[in-house]
Chains A and B, each alone.
Chain A
Amino acid sequence: MPEITEKLRKITNDPTLSPAQKAHYLAVEAENMLPYPELDADVQEALDDRIICDMFEGHAPYKPRYVLPDYSIVLKNGSDYLELPVPQNLDEAINTLMIAYHHVPSVTGMPVYLGDLDNLLLPFCDGVSDDALRQKIRLFWRYLDRTLPDAFMHANIGPSDNRVARAILEIDAELGQVAPNLTFLYDPDTSTEDILRLATDNILKCSKPHIANHPVHKATFDDRGYGIVSCYNALPVAGGSSTLTRINLKAVAELSDSESHFLNEVLPRYMDMNFRLTETRISYLFDQSGFFDSFLVSEKWIDRDRFTAMYGIYAMAEAVNILQDKAALEGRYGFDDKANDLGLRISKMLSEAVEARPLKNAWQGRAMLHSQAGLSDDIEATPGIRIPYGTEPDPVSHVQALAPQHQYYPSGVSEILTIDETVKNNPEALYQLCKGALASGFREFTANVSSNDLVRVTGYMIRLSDVQKFNDQKGSRTNTTGLGAEAADLMGILDRKPRVVGHELSPGYT
């Protein structure tokens, strides 16, 4: 016990944390004082060695990792549990959402999904002037950033071109806040070129929004639809994901003699163990935690059958390069066709194995493969299927090297293109890159333009100036700045040429 009490004391006395941030870390530590749900010895060993990983989600899963409520339900019905009447106008609708968010958990304790806001709010906008709409959105946005300061929190807009989506883009660029994060769903058949231009122009101002490939995502999900949350995760609406586990492909490659040994023996063994880890965590959530007794289920905001399990992989680049070395081949991942083809064979094998494995208490009875962005303490392991930091080719070559991979990752690919600042004089170029990337099969277009103060450190945003302040021991109001600071120190992101590291989540106090 002395070790843990010392850590708890350090948290309570940490001058850089707010009381709410302390309460969160204390809760994480308390949960992790419980014994882990029972794992067999092989899985336990692989987990201890971090060849497979539970993202440090905690020892007692009492809430799903990501919850994506269907907010149209509370806007249509109000809520008995929350004693909310049916909203009658835009103020009441926004107020209802503001209250709703505080009852939607996630792995960070804050909501990750704010809804498809334009579609939710449009029915309330008749008779509201554009100026009034902008002012209401401005206050809404300020509220979100100040009370739910987590940049994993994600709003969706599109694919149609409508006045709410336009107002949100305008205000988002005007305020330049870390939260909320934002995705525009682009569909060449539905969206106008004009609104896509507005969106890509916004990227130049504040590195937001992400642009999602709506036709590709739509075909992956069903009629109830999907949402984009956190780090480019595409998940069923009215559900979400129970858990995210992941395999360190680099570690698996190190244990393999050759490509065939990797694909036929070692990787299947660790995939099976990662499935068993996933099953154990889902089983606790569904059978022991009581989460699904919540009003969220009885009032139909969510449906227990609509939670998938994200099956993550990372360090593809290192895995491919290690296997290339073992075959005495020089080609590097991201640059050499043969190395890229090996990466594709690995992704295809992963995809087929995930498709083939039935999973209890998972949406459509299967997990969903995910190219996972990373944790802030991953070292020498490149996020997901990305090309290693600082070595990326030009953005077009980058997209062309990775586009064939995207078909295998239905729950999302964490990918960021770094664009040099000269694009600021030529916004049309960013628009064309975006269209080209989506037409090439990218599920998501995410870009960082180098001189922005707001920078993506994977799916979340940080302010570079906040990182500086945090490191000066002043603490930060937004939760993700701590993660960015940790990533910045470990990975040297601020020293590199414009670059983003892939670190979705720093799960506990360090």
Chain B
Amino acid sequence: MNSPLATLNKILTCSFVDGPGNRLVLFFQGCNLACSACHNPYTIGICDHCGDCVPACDPGALTLQSNKVIFNPALCDQCDACLTICPISASPMTTQFSVDDILALIRIHKPFLGGITVSGGEATMQADFVKDLFTAIKSAPDLSDLTCFIDSNGMLDIAGWQNLLPVTDGVMLDIKAFAMDLQKELTGHDTSAAQNIARVLLKAGKLYEIRYLLIPGKTDNTAELDQLVAFIQSLGLDTKVRLNAFQHHGVRGLALDQDIMPKEGVDAVVELLADAGIHNVTTPAIYQ
């Protein structure tokens, strides 16, 4: 099998917040949205080797060789100066992995894992790799009990999902907003296709969770919440909904002027959903 390589920003070998149980999480580099409230904005762009970050790297972990930015992790002191200076919200600190590399890593951590989750960035932009990886996990006798989950913004088209779903156990799907102008303001794009994708996933029995980020004055107004309620009701009252609360850690730029979402505000939305019969709602364990 001549598999493509994945460009990853980060691998977590222990996560409690990316699907059921303890999960190994692959954060893919690159996203097809550009959300202003993104909590890891350096995963959005793909490095175009402009070299702006090289002089910013004090320990010399970044060098320009044959017009390519080369990253030496051994020298990196994780100061993140390169991420701050990058003009396109990319990261020079990515690494390429083969399916076999990832399988070897999963095997080391297997006794502790419920499964693996691909996140990002937007993992489905590297769907060929995701499919190869999930297929390899499902066909390896020592790994086949692990579940394979995707954390996605739903921008992949239906044909793309139909290709992935046979080897996927569950999808955590972001719904960004309902009003078109708000979608564009928050993400730079029309994201309404994600609502249709939710129905496709539901029909396939693969919709694990709808995720909705509460941003004060934006996604928590009455019109938005009414549409959220109607949308969830259309999927079914048992649908698992995860409410996230906008906070400042990780975000950049103008989003730092945006108020954070307090626990009281989240609790009020939980109550609203409960009144509408939507009861399978998870809220943040910590606000900070």
How many Å from the CB of B285 to the closest CB on chain A? 5
In the complex, what distance in Å separates the CA atom of A15 from the CA atom of B33? 65
Whether A426 touches B14, Cβ cut-off 8 Å, given contacts A432-B22, A432-B112, is: no
Please state if A426 and B17 are interface contacts (CB–CB under 8 Å). Answer: yes
Whether A394 touches B14, Cβ cut-off 8 Å, given contacts A422-B286, A428-B20, A429-B22, is: yes
Look across to chain A and name the residue whose beta carbon is closest to the beta carbon of B242: A425
Look across to chain A and name the residue whose beta carbon is closest to the beta carbon of B109: A396
Residues of chain A with a CB closer than 8 A to B14's CB = 394-397
In the complex, what distance in Å separates the CA atom of A419 from the CA atom of B286? 13
Any B CB within 8 A of the CB of A421: yes
Residues of chain B with a CB closer than 8 A to A439's CB = 111
Contacting residue for B13 out of A396, A420, A425, A426, CB 8 A:
A396
Residues of chain A with a CB closer than 8 A to B282's CB = 425
Please state if B285 and A396 are interface contacts (CB–CB under 8 Å). Answer: no
Residues of chain A with a CB closer than 8 A to B23's CB = 429
Any A CB within 8 A of the CB of B216: no
Q: Binary interface profile of A, 432-473, with partner B (CB < 8 Å = 1, else 0)? A: 110111011000000000000000000000000000000000
Residues of chain B with a CB closer than 8 A to A396's CB = 13-14, 22, 109, 112
Please state if B114 and A429 are interface contacts (CB–CB under 8 Å). Answer: yes
Contacting residue for B285 out of A395, A424, A440, CB 8 A:
A424
Any B CB within 8 A of the CB of A101: no
Contacting residue for A422 out of B13, B20, B108, B285, CB 8 A:
B285
Q: Report how many A-B pairs have Cβ atoms within 8 Å.
A: 59
Interface residues on chain B, number (Cβ under 8 Å) = 17
Residues of chain B with a CB closer than 8 A to A394's CB = 13-14
Any B CB within 8 A of the CB of A399: yes
Residues of chain A with a CB closer than 8 A to B285's CB = 421-425
Q: Binary interface profile of B, 271-282, with partner A (CB < 8 Å = 1, else 0)? A: 000000000001
Please state if B21 and A429 are interface contacts (CB–CB under 8 Å). Answer: yes
In the complex, what distance in Å separates the CA atom of A439 from the CA atom of B110? 11
Interface residues on chain A, number (Cβ under 8 Å) = 24
How many Å from the CB of B78 to the closest CB on chain A? 15
Please state if A431 and B112 are interface contacts (CB–CB under 8 Å). Answer: no
Please state if B111 and A426 are interface contacts (CB–CB under 8 Å). Answer: no
Please state if B109 and A429 are interface contacts (CB–CB under 8 Å). Answer: no
Residues of chain B with a CB closer than 8 A to A436's CB = 22, 111-113
How many Å from the CB of B241 to the closest CB on chain A? 13
In the complex, what distance in Å separates the CA atom of A215 from the CA atom of B278? 45
Whether A432 touches B13, Cβ cut-off 8 Å, given contacts A425-B282, A439-B111, is: no
How many Å from the CB of B187 to the closest CB on chain A? 25
Residues of chain A with a CB closer than 8 A to B286's CB = 420-422
In the complex, what distance in Å separates the CA atom of A263 from the CA atom of B93? 42
Please state if B16 and A429 are interface contacts (CB–CB under 8 Å). Answer: yes
Q: Which residues of B contact A (CB under 8 A)?
A: 13-14, 16-17, 20-23, 108-109, 111-114, 282, 285-286
27 residue pairs of the A-B complex, CB under 8 angstroms, read: A394-B14, A396-B109, A397-B13, A397-B14, A399-B112, A400-B108, A419-B16, A423-B16, A425-B285, A426-B16, A426-B17, A426-B21, A428-B21, A428-B22, A428-B114, A429-B22, A431-B21, A432-B22, A432-B113, A432-B114, A433-B22, A433-B112, A436-B22, A436-B111, A437-B112, A439-B111, A440-B111
